[in-house]
Structure 1
Amino acid sequence: MYQYWLPDSNNMRVNHTAAVNSVVIIGPNGSGKSKLGAWIEQQDYEKVHRISAQRDINFSERIPLKSFAEAEDIVIYSRPGAKERKRARWDWGTSYTTKLLSDFDDVLAALIAQVSLENQHFIDECKKADSNKSERPPVPKTAQDKLINIWDSVFPQRKIEYEDAAFYAIPTNSSNRYSATQMSDGERSVLYLAAQVLCAPQAKILIMDEPEVHLHPSLMGRLWGSLERARPDCLFIYITHDVNFASTHQSSDTIWVKSFDGTKWDLESLPDSDLPKELLIDLLGNRKEVLFVEGAEGSYDKRIYSVLFPNYYIVPSGGCEQVINNVKAYNRTRSLHAIKARGIIDRDFKTDKQLCAYENSDVYTLQVAEVENLFLTKEVVEILAKRFAVNQEEVFDNIKHYVFERFEKQLAKQTSGALVAGVKEALSGISISDNDQLTSDSIAASINIEATEANVRNRYQEAISGHNYNAVLSLFNDKSIATSVGHFFGIDNRIYIERVICLLEGELKDELSKALAPYITLCPNNQFDTQAKRSATY
């Protein structure tokens, strides 16, 4: 177990234990995270070594060599012989979070001196073994060996080596080496951080402020995982606003900095939740109500709902089931109860019974089968026809005829999809008691496939025979329709949807938002403006 401490509401030190050697402190910019790191260090200067986010990653081509004791004092205390006055490292407390650390040469000097000590110890042990005529000890792994192993795990395409007070970089499959001072910012940052960790005294708490600085996200896990394994005696406390980095430490204590008033912090441990850790961390600092939607970042769903619901924090969640699961998990997470979460999903082939059940869990459905069908509604078509200077009535009639034609051609496929959904719903409702012994016949009898099929066919036939355009859009699952109507407006089919969304996000925002509102709502008692609109035939 590892010991660390945090302030309580009165800034009194409260001790904590960690099961693994890493703790993540996360919060938005300006939330007082760096000041919190400084507070932790101030409680025990000897136990804690803090590496500021303000760090100079330039170093000399030839490292000025020092004794290990001198170099270590400079790295840990800022000057030789200052162990009793560590505040000198931070200009006597005037720049705990703002001072630029310019100690790269000293860090490398400490690493080199440590390697010399390790090599000398090995030689002494070998001499002792020879004098006792006993077996020599195995060759140990020095700090330099560990540095090279860590480097290779992070940058397999480039080697690093040390010779005569200088570090060199060597591209893979090349013998041409060059000074490591000419490496990229990310490479020099890795060298600096690895050297800092490897030459730190035993059993320190190492506070890493903004561990992501200069590093590409793809390198983060490899670097810090390697360093944590190299120093199991040390506890790493990471101070970050990087959600992706925090989510890579699944087993670590995660501390959320909720707020800071300039003197005191409001801290909370990451709550238990069924939400993915990355998503939970991302949502912790949010102050808006949350709306989980289908799709991914940049999808139609995210872009449309971001415009229509500007007061919500929109979270794309992939498929329908994930939206439902996220809403339930979010609303079960106690620390987030002050903020409501809802979800919007496509109607697809869902039955009325399913839709009612979803509403009870704060998940609502579109009034069209798929989000793409929103671009086929009469209101949207007429606005765009006017925008593209074509006859509104003619364009809508043509699109309506085209949609009905496609729907009738696919009627067998569409009704089959709805029938499968109805049967799945019926199967999911079968309960089994200890005395039940279900058979295929009893299952078939309990779900009444014939009645389900008749209900499906009636709904689809009524939509066609009643010439109910809205009903067809609520039943028709075919994402390709909306990508094949652009020519009715005189534009390329492939750009139609993108043009609509751009206009929704831009100059026709108000007009299109109003047109779409009846088809997308988060009000359970007003899924459509009126029943008349819901059954409109147009």
Structure 2
Amino acid sequence: MQEPPQEQPPTLASWHIPLSDDGALHLDARAGEVITVVGANGAGKSALATWIASNTPDGVLRRVLAQRKIWFQNSGASISAADRENVAMNMQHWDRSLESRYLDHVDHQRADIALFDLMGRIHAEDHRIAELAYAGVSSQEIVTEVGQRLFESLNAVLKQAGLNVSIATSDQQTFTAQHRTLGVDYPISQMSDGERSALLLAAEVLAAHENAVIMLDEPERHLHRSISASLIEALIEARPDCGFIVLTHDLDLAVTLSTRPGEVLSALGVKWSGNDATHWSLQRISPESPITDEAKRAILGGRRRILFVEGTSGSLDFPLYGTLLPGWTVVPAGSCESVIRSVGGLSKSEEHHWVDSRGLVDRDGRSDSERADLAAKGIFVLPVSEVENLYYLPNVIEAVAKKQADAQGEEVSGLVRAAKQAGLDALSDSQTLQRLAKKLAKDEVARKLLSEMPDEVGEDEITLTLTTPYPGILQELEQAKQNNDYEAFVRKVPVRDTSFRAQVARALLFLSITRYEKAALLTITENPELAAKLSKDIFGEAGSPEWS
């Protein structure tokens, strides 16, 4: 029997946001859900926040501005009830003004207002408990009626965020902090920046009226990355009656929030008419999309052309790709399998048709048929065994040798001959050739095994017969050795596993592999003609990973 559809949480506010293509994007803020908007600087997030504030009914939205100040001179609110009432009459106007993108007219009072509202909620809660007690209501019924105390929620949020501090009130109607481990009490005015920021964010959220739409503009400001996501998640869980709009630069926070009920939008740009933002370029990111975290981070960052590569951002090959492909966002995805999954997941997601994604993987001895199969999936294969080998191609060696010759007073051709011979000598003995051939053969067999793996495994016996590629690979390497074919080795074998790189670097008068590869990267960066040749070598005549 088909299950009845789940009832949606109540809608607290709705908007029709004008889009750059003259359409409109409908958004509903619902209780317990999060609308996450992420994008780079200049993508229109703050302008969108102001537009939403201007198009929300009075009394519905509580906006926490990005440019908030987190310091306060005292440990309690320095404003009176009359001051709070007067400010409230103006805050809605100021939060809707164009200036709110960069200016807060009440920045000197925001912290006081947050503490005033928090203390007010605490007093109201205490008063309600006293009323119930005087009326003869039992303790258990009072607990059921009131629910979790505000202080319990506040300190639970801080603890969940990983902060080792709890908050209490003093007899003087101020707030005090206590270190959970050391047991030391101190005024909240002496808290660290991160602790104060977390307290003020928590006060804004927990003191908001029931069924509010709470807009957090760059909540990660003044927070360490290790606590921002957990703090925001804890606050959202603490207010299931409220809807949330979170505008952020933090891709980690956006990825975390994308798993919660609600909407995730990537802000790609904004159109202006004078000083007014009029239309936005926004894309929905579906949480059900079969995409990897690397892909999600890239598209949440507003990226349209994404090239997934093997490796990590800390390696030298990452800036090399950036030099060779200035028009693409290069995203290190880790392993070859992660590159293939990232590109495949995006290609299966129709809602990401605006994202142009490709992949680039090491050659690793792949056959022509393997490379053709990957190309059909939008995956390019390097013309060399591993990306580091690009630094040792003859044209790169020659370009670096020219700079070294100028600096050291040497002859270019002599340096080039010495470097190539040193590389060949490092690979010349039979044991090295056999070891390299075995590694390439093993990698090829492993890929074939994966490709032959059945979709389902039952009781029937599985038999796989593979012919070893080792003799053919070894013959190719021995032929390259016989022909003194330096370039063939650079393209075919993983030289990282040999003394090849160190010998070539030394022949070019460098003290280490790292120094040579950094010099090679700088040479490629400063030489557009060389960079273009490398791009053409990698991606063919187009010189960039276009779809063929």
TM-score band w.r.t. shorter chain: 0.7 to 0.9
Tell me the equivalent position of 2:472: 455
Between the aligned partners of 2:543 and 2:202, the Cα distance in structure 1 is: 59
Residue 177 of structure 2 is aligned to residue 169 of structure 1: yes
* DSSP 3-state at the match of 2:42: coil
Cα distance, 1:470–1:320 mapped onto 2, change above 3 Å: same
Tell me the equivalent position of 1:212: 220
Q: What do residues 59-103 of structure 1 show as CA deviations (whole Å, max 9, x unaligned)?
A: 341535888x868x64xx833xx4xx874454x846444334422
Give the AA of the match of 2:440.
A
Tell me the equivalent position of 1:536: none
CA contact (8 A) 2:50 2:97 kept: no
Tell me the equivalent position of 2:445: 423
Residue 39 of structure 2 is aligned to residue 30 of structure 1: no
* DSSP 3-state at the match of 2:464: helix
Cα distance, 1:212–1:498 mapped onto 2, change above 3 Å: same
Q: CA deviation at 1:270?
A: 1.3
* DSSP 3-state at the match of 2:240: coil
Tell me the equivalent position of 1:504: 523
Between the aligned partners of 1:478 and 1:212, the Cα distance in structure 2 is: 44
Cα distance, 1:514–1:482 mapped onto 2, change above 3 Å: farther
Cα distance, 1:476–1:209 mapped onto 2, change above 3 Å: same
Q: Identify which of 182, 188, 196 aligns with 1:180.
A: 188
Tell me the equivalent position of 2:485: 468
Tell me the equivalent position of 2:157: 150
* DSSP 3-state at the match of 1:520: helix
Give the AA of the match of 2:125.
E
Cα distance, 1:53–1:427 mapped onto 2, change above 3 Å: closer
Cα distance, 1:54–1:418 mapped onto 2, change above 3 Å: closer
The residue correspondences of 1:275-354 to structure 2 (distance < 5 A) are 275-277=291-293, 279-283=295-299, 286=302, 289-338=305-354, 340-354=356-370
Tell me the equivalent position of 1:493: 512
Q: Identify which of 133, 142, 145 aligns with 1:126.
A: 133
Between the aligned partners of 2:93 and 2:326, the Cα distance in structure 1 is: 49
Between the aligned partners of 1:50 and 1:154, the Cα distance in structure 2 is: 21
Between the aligned partners of 2:424 and 2:24, the Cα distance in structure 1 is: 73
The residue correspondences of 1:62-461 to structure 2 (distance < 5 A) are 62-64=75-77, 74=85, 78-79=87-88, 82=89, 87-90=92-95, 93=97, 95-97=99-101, 98-101=103-106, 102-129=109-136, 137-138=142-143, 141-163=148-170, 164-171=172-179, 173-174=181-182, 176-249=184-257, 250-251=259-260, 252-261=262-271, 262-271=277-286, 273-277=289-293, 279-283=295-299, 286=302, 289-338=305-354, 340-389=356-405, 390=410, 391-405=414-428, 408-428=430-450, 430=452, 443-444=464-465, 447=466, 449=467, 452-461=469-478
Give the AA of the match of 2:15.
L
Q: Tell me which structure has the larger Cα radius of gyration.
A: 1
Q: CA deviation at 1:227?
A: 0.9
Q: Identify which of 495, 498, 502 aligns with 1:484.
A: 502
Cα distance, 1:118–1:43 mapped onto 2, change above 3 Å: closer
CA contact (8 A) 1:186 1:215 kept: yes
Q: Identify which of 20, 30, 48 aligns with 2:61.
A: 48
Between the aligned partners of 2:147 and 2:302, the Cα distance in structure 1 is: 50
Between the aligned partners of 2:45 and 2:310, the Cα distance in structure 1 is: 34
Give the AA of the match of 1:29.
N
Q: What do residues 6-32 of structure 1 show as CA deviations (whole Å, max 9, x unaligned)?
A: 324379894536584222122332333
Between the aligned partners of 2:202 and 2:394, the Cα distance in structure 1 is: 62
Percent identity between the aligned chains? 25
Figure out how many residues of one structure are paired with residues of the other and give that number. 508
CA contact (8 A) 1:375 1:482 kept: no
Q: What do residues 506-532 of structure 1 show as CA deviations (whole Å, max 9, x unaligned)?
A: 54x3364366456423558999xxxxx
Between the aligned partners of 1:416 and 1:158, the Cα distance in structure 2 is: 58
Q: CA deviation at 1:105?
A: 1.4
Between the aligned partners of 2:24 and 2:339, the Cα distance in structure 1 is: 41
Q: What do residues 440-484 of structure 1 show as CA deviations (whole Å, max 9, x unaligned)?
A: 6x632xx4x26x444334333333334332222233224144541
Task: Show structure 2 runs of 5+ residues with no match.
Answer: 1-8, 272-276
Q: CA deviation at 1:237?
A: 1.0
Cα distance, 1:377–1:29 mapped onto 2, change above 3 Å: closer
Between the aligned partners of 2:540 and 2:305, the Cα distance in structure 1 is: 12
Q: What do residues 118-156 of structure 1 show as CA deviations (whole Å, max 9, x unaligned)?
A: 2232233223328xx997745964322322222233354
CA contact (8 A) 1:293 1:344 kept: yes
CA contact (8 A) 1:2 1:235 kept: no
Cα distance, 1:246–1:426 mapped onto 2, change above 3 Å: closer
CA contact (8 A) 2:433 2:478 kept: no
Q: CA deviation at 1:238?
A: 0.7
Between the aligned partners of 2:99 and 2:399, the Cα distance in structure 1 is: 59
Q: CA deviation at 1:231?
A: 1.0
CA contact (8 A) 1:463 1:469 kept: yes
Give the AA of the match of 1:468.
D
Task: Show structure 1 runs of 5+ residues with no match.
Answer: 528-538
CA contact (8 A) 2:37 2:246 kept: yes
